[in-house]
Amino acid sequence: MADPTHQGSESPTVLVLEPDIVVRSEIADYLRDCGYTVIETASGDEAMLVLKASGMHIAVLLADATAPGAPDGFGLAQWARANRSGIDVILTGTPERAARAAGDLCDDGPALSKPYDPQVVVDRIKRLQAARKRATPP
Amino acid sequence: MSGKAAPMAAASDKRRLLVVEDEVLVRMIIAEATRDAGYEVAEAESADAALAYIASGRPVDLVFSDIGLPGSMNGVALARTLAAEHPEIMVILTSGQAGAEALQAETPFIPKPYSIAEALILIAVTLAQKPTDG
C-alpha cells in the first residue's frame, strides 16, 4: 500500500485531530483543496499512532485541544512540541478557530486550487451540525 | 481571504465513499488510495460517527466498513441500519476474522488483508449495481 505522506515535496502533510466527523471532514477537505495531503484522526490515541509511525513526514499538526484520548488534544500538542520539533503545532478549540487556522495554512500552502473564505467552511459546518441534530432523536 | 471564490457549493460528479475503520493507519491508507482513484472520501472511526456523518446530509454513495468497530454497533449492524434507513447507500464489509463473511451474507465482503487493487475492483463493481441518482 502507498504511504500517503510520501507524495513529493509539493504536498506537505497536515495531521488533523478533530473528534467531530462533520468538522473534521470539512476542515480536511478544505485543506486538500488547497493542495495539502491530510491525515484525519478522531482522538489523541489515533494521532499519536500516526506521529509515532515510521516514515511519516508530518509538517503541521492541527489539533482540537479538547479532543479525547490518552493523551488528549492538548497533551498531544505538548508531546509533539517536545518530541517532534519539525512539526508546526496549531491548537484549535472551536470550528471557527479550526477554519481560520486552515485558512491561514491555505494562504501559505501549495494552493492546488483557490482557497475559499474560512467563514464559508464555518457556515457549512454549522448547517451540517444542525441537520445532524434534527436527524438524531433526543 | 476576501475576494476569493467559494467553489464548495459546486456539484461534483465524483462518487462519494465513506470509509469506516477504527485502525487509523489502515483507514488512512484505504482512504488515500480511493481518493487517488478519483472518489470523494470521508473517514469515520466508528459506526456512530458514520451515522452522524450521514445524518448531517452530506451525500454518500457507498460505505466501506470494517466489521469489528468500537461504539454502539459493529459493521454488520451498521449495514443493517443502512439497509433499513438508507437503502440507496451501497455497503461493503471487511474483516480479518475468519467466518465474518457469514454474518451478513447479502452484503459484499472483502477479507483482510486485502490489496488496494482488489478493494478498488469490488468498490467499482458494487457501485455499478447502484441505481443512478435522479
Task: For residue A42, list chain B residues with Cβ-Cβ distance below 8 A.
Answer: 45, 49
Supply the pTM of this predicted model.
0.90
B12 has pLDDT over 90: no
- H/E stretch holding B16 reads strand B16-20
Mutate to test the interface with A, among B28, B30, B72 (most CBs of A within 10 A): B28
pLDDT at A77: 96
Answer with the residue of higher pLDDT: A5 or B70: B70
Tell me the pLDDT of chain A averaged across its residues. 91
pLDDT at B133: 57
Burial B5-34 (b: 16+ CB within 10 A, else e): eeeeeeeeeebebbbbbbbbebbbbbbbbb
Tell me the pLDDT of chain B averaged across its residues. 89
| Contact across the interface for A2 and B24, Cβ inside 8 Å | no
Q: Which of A24-33, B26-35, B62-71, B125-134 has the lowest mean pLDDT?
A: B125-134
pLDDT category of residue B47 using cuts at 50, 70 and 90 = very high
Q: Which of A78-82, B9-13, B73-77 has the lowest mean pLDDT?
A: B9-13
B60 has pLDDT over 60: yes
Task: For residue A111, list chain B residues with Cβ-Cβ distance below 8 A.
Answer: none
Answer with the residue of higher pLDDT: A66 or A9: A66
pLDDT category of residue A116 using cuts at 50, 70 and 90 = confident
Give CA separation, A30 vs A35, A81, B109, in Å: 9, 25, 32
| Contact across the interface for A135 and B55, Cβ inside 8 Å | yes
Fold (CATH) for B14-128: Rossmann fold (3.40.50)
Q: Which of A42-56, A64-78, A112-126, B6-20 has the lowest mean pLDDT?
A: B6-20
Answer with the residue of higher pLDDT: B10 or A125: A125
Q: Tell me the domain boundaries of chain B.
A: 14-128
**A136: exposed, middle or buried (Cβ count in 10 Å: 0-12, 13-18, 19+):** exposed
pLDDT category of residue B106 using cuts at 50, 70 and 90 = confident
A40 has pLDDT over 50: yes
Task: For residue A40, list chain B residues with Cβ-Cβ distance below 8 A.
Answer: 27-28, 31, 43
Q: How many CB atoms lie within 10 A of CB B36?
A: 14
Answer with the residue of higher pLDDT: A127 or B6: A127
B7 has pLDDT over 50: no
pLDDT category of residue B9 using cuts at 50, 70 and 90 = very low
Residues 17 through 46 of chain A touching chain B, CB cutoff 8 Å = 21-22, 24-25, 28, 32-33, 37, 39-43, 46
Residue of B nearest to A43 (CA): B45
